[in-house]
Structure formats: C-alpha cells, structure tokens
Amino acid sequence: GQNIDQPTEMTATEGAIVQINCTYQTSGFNGLFWYQQHAGEAPTFLSYNVLDGLEEKGRFSSFLSRSKGYSYLLLKELQMKDSASYLCAVILRGAGSYQLTFGKGTKLSVIP
C-alpha cells in the first residue's frame, strides 16, 4: 500500500518561516507535488520535485530526498493569506498512466 504522512495542523506567526514535512512509503516514485488549498476552494499547484535537492519559487521552496522518502515545503515571510491546507502528493506510474496519491494535508494557521 501507499503511505504518505504529514502533520495534521501547524500554527505560525506572520512574518516568520515555517517548514511542513512529508514522508512517504510508496510502491514506485515518479516525483512529488505540493498543492495549496484554501478553505472551500480547489487545490492549486505550488511546486514539483523529481530530483534530490531544493526548488525555490519566490517565498516558497520545496526539498526532496528520494533515499529518505522525505520532502518539505518551506514558506518564508509568512502572510495571513498563507493560512490554508498544504497537500503533499506522490506521482505513481499505473498501467495506463500516472496518478497521484495524496497525503491528508497540513492545515496551516498564520496568526498576527
């Protein structure tokens, strides 16, 4: 079976840095996505990692270690609008195509 673990909830202060971890044990691996989902809205794509290392995109960075089955999303200079759920998803190769398996998501609350 597939297993993807993320913390359920986190709280951080406006202006601070927060790191959201994701560990995975899956049968196969073809990359990892991070998505952001505000309450009542659709998930939106944040980042993609397939090779080990850090990918930086503005205030958001994502890191991957394939040998450890581990990724994190780093959010810098937190803003109130960053309050949302953050979803880690592993790309698996099926018989016909690719599919994603999602973690249960981490609900981040940013406080003043």
Whether 105 contacts 4, CB under 8 Å: no
By the rule CB under 8 A, 98 interacts with other proteins: yes
By the rule CB under 8 A, 10 interacts with other proteins: no
Judged by CB under 8 A, the number of residues near other proteins is: 26
DSSP characters over 29-80? ---EEEEEE-TTS--EEEEEE-SSEEEEETTEEEEEETTTTEEEEEE-S--G
The contact mask relative to other proteins for 40-79 (x = CB under 8 A, - = no) is: -xxxxx--x-x-----------------------------
By the rule CB under 8 A, 91 interacts with other proteins: yes
Amino acid at 76: K
Q: In this complex, which beta carbon is closest to other proteins, that of residue 43 or of residue 69?
A: 43
